Structure 1
Amino acid sequence: MQHINILMVDDHPIIIEGYQNTLMATKNDDQVLVIDTANNCDTANELLQKASKEKPYDVCFFDISLPSSSDGSITSGEDLAKIARDILPNAKIIILTMFNESYRIHNIIKEVSPDGFLIKSDLTSMELAEAFQHILSNPPYYSSTVNNYLKKSITSDIYIDDINRKILHLLSQGIKTRSLKEYIDLSMSAIEKRKKQMKLLFSVEDGKDETLLEEARKKGFL
């Protein structure tokens, strides 16, 4: 028999229940699933620390949006995934999230390199079951939104670093250029310079931010 120790972290108990029921109903006959659950960063971190000393998890599911830890040092499932990577090196890390913005997807893949990356709006119980078995034997497994985004950004020959991605992301959220320095540790002139470079890269001829965002979207950077 294959005993699989699993941690599921999501702040909505009903979602965890759905995941559990799906996996239990679709597991292979020779698989025994032992599932721990957590609804916030503190509980999840305690379970991870305990597992690293006793019985390590084989698979960890992390939702991205979670209530922060009480000391504020862990603010998301992304932070938990990094902790898990560090103290449970053999665990398969699966990210589940409502976020489908390319900026966020890019960051998570870069920072965590998850074994599974599933966008909740793509997810059916069948896909979850398939993803779980796939990740156990032959990771990674990315759901369609993630794959489409990756295809777009790989085929694009434009290179945009993380600061430029952040500038694009903030502008797309309606943040005005003059307020960007509140979010990014750069001078106003450095931010303006980066915007000019991006407008050249994306061949924005009318100089407008809206056109820059439109071009960035087309090429999968937003």
Structure 2
Amino acid sequence: MQQVHILMVDDHPIIIEGYQNTLMATKKDDQTLVIDTANTCDAAHILMQKAADERPYDVCFFDISLPPSADGKITSGEDLAKISREIMPRAKVIILTMFNESYRIHNIVREISPDGFLIKSDLTSSELAEAFQHILVDPPYYSSTVSNFLNKSVVNEIYVDDINRKILHLLSKGIKTRSLTEYIDLSMSAIEKRKKQLKLLFSIEDGKDESLIIEARKKGFL
């Protein structure tokens, strides 16, 4: 028997229930699935640390939009996926998201190189089942929207690194620029420079932080 240890992270319990039911109903006869679930970054992080010490997960499903951790250090499923890569390098990482912005997709593929990348609006139960079995044996598996975006050359590819994502996240939470140095280990001039680059990147003509946040949200970076 093949025992597959799985972590599913999504802030909507009904979605997790759907995934679980699909995988259990379509698993192979020689497979036993052991599934843990989490609805927040904190809950997922605790399970991942425990698993890394005891029995690492074989497959981790991460939704991108999740309530951030209490200390603000983990802000999304993207961050959890990076942690998984560090502490459980052999675990297959599957990203599930509503975002279908080409910029966001390129960013995730570049930062994480997931073993599976599924857009929820593309997803049927049969595709989830097919993707899961495919990823166990021969990753990666990318759903049609992801494949289409990756096949197209994106002229204006926006690449936002970890620090810039953190700046956007903190600004969106109402943290003033002058206070950002308390959260990010950079000088004020370095932070200002990054904000200028972000405004150029997102074509913010009025120079306002509010406009930057609105545009970043539209493109799926928040």
Q: Would you call these one fold, judging by a TM-score over 0.5?
A: yes
User: Could you report, residue by residue, the CA deviation over 1:142-180 in whole angstroms, capped at 9, with x for unpaired residues?
Assistant: 000000001112xx6x574626xx9xxx9xxxxxxxxxx
Q: Which runs of 4+ in 1 moved over 2 A?
A: 158-163, 181-188
Q: Specify the alignment match of 2:12 in structure 1.
A: 12
The TM-score with structure 1 as length reference comes to 0.73
Q: Distance in 2 between the 1:94 and 1:50 partners?
A: 20
Q: Specify the alignment match of 2:28 in structure 1.
A: 28
Deviation at 1:182, TM superposition (A): 7.9
Whether the 8 Å contact between 2:9 and 2:61 is mirrored in structure 1 is yes
Deviation at 1:67, TM superposition (A): 0.4
Equivalent of residue 186 in structure 1, options 178, 186, 196? 196
Deviation at 1:37, TM superposition (A): 0.2
User: Residue 129 of structure 2: SS of its match in structure 1?
Assistant: helix
Whether the 8 Å contact between 2:6 and 2:57 is mirrored in structure 1 is yes
RMSD: 2.6
User: Residue 152 of structure 2: SS of its match in structure 1?
Assistant: helix
Q: 1:108 to 1:62 in 2, by over 3 A?
A: same
Q: Specify the alignment match of 1:203 in structure 2.
A: none
Q: Specify the alignment match of 1:84 in structure 2.
A: 84
Whether the 8 Å contact between 2:107 and 2:158 is mirrored in structure 1 is no
Deviation at 1:106, TM superposition (A): 0.6
| Number of aligned residues | 175
Aligned AA (1:186): K
Q: Specify the alignment match of 2:43 in structure 1.
A: 43
User: Could you report, residue by residue, the CA deviation over 1:100-121 in whole angstroms, capped at 9, with x for unpaired residues?
Assistant: 0011101100111000000000
Q: Specify the alignment match of 1:74 in structure 2.
A: 74
Q: Distance in 1 between the 2:193 and 2:48 partners?
A: 31
Q: Distance in 2 between the 1:147 and 1:28 partners?
A: 27
Q: 1:71 to 1:114 in 2, by over 3 A?
A: same
The TM-score with structure 2 as length reference comes to 0.73
Q: Percent identity over the alignment?
A: 71
Q: 1:151 to 1:54 in 2, by over 3 A?
A: same
Deviation at 1:38, TM superposition (A): 0.1
Equivalent of residue 159 in structure 2, options 151, 162, 169? 162
Q: Does 1:140 align with 2:140?
A: yes
User: Could you report, residue by residue, the CA deviation over 1:92-147 in whole angstroms, capped at 9, with x for unpaired residues?
Assistant: 00000000001110110011100000000000000000000000000000000000
Q: Distance in 1 between the 2:66 and 2:197 partners?
A: 32
Unaligned runs of 5+ in 2: 169-190, 204-222
Q: 1:151 to 1:16 in 2, by over 3 A?
A: same
Unaligned runs of 5+ in 1: 171-180, 196-222
User: Residue 162 of structure 1: SS of its match in structure 2?
Assistant: coil
User: Could you report, residue by residue, the CA deviation over 1:174-199 in whole angstroms, capped at 9, with x for unpaired residues?
Assistant: xxxxxxx98953379x949x97xxxx
Q: Distance in 2 between the 1:31 and 1:187 partners?
A: 49
